[in-house]
Amino acid sequence: MAGEFLLSLGLWFARAFVSSLVCLLIGYVGIVGVTRMTTRIKEFESVKGNPLATGLFVGGFFVYAGLVVYGSMVNPFFLSQSVAFGAYFNLQRLLAVVISFFVSLLFGGLFYRIFTKLKPFGVNLDDVNKSPIAIGIYLFSYEVFLGLIVLASLTLPVG
Nearest to 57 by CA among 148, 134, 147, 152: 134
78 close to 89: Cβ distance less than 8 angstroms = yes
Predicted pLDDT of residue 142 = 92
Angle in degrees, CA 71, 27, 131, rounded to 5: 125
Q: Dmax of the chain from CA atoms?
A: 65
**pTM, to two decimals:** 0.81
Nearest to 132 by CA among 59, 66, 63, 55: 55
Q: Coil, strand or helix: which one is 82?
A: coil
Predicted pLDDT of residue 86 = 39
Predicted pLDDT of residue 88 = 37
Element (H, E) at 138: helix 132-155
Query: Which pLDDT tens digit goes with each residue over 11-60?
Result: 778 878 888 898 899 999 999 988 888 877 888 888 999 999 999 999 99
Which residues contact residue 124 at a Cβ distance below 8 angstroms, ignoring those fewer than 6 apart?
Answer: 116
| Mean pLDDT for the chain overall | 83
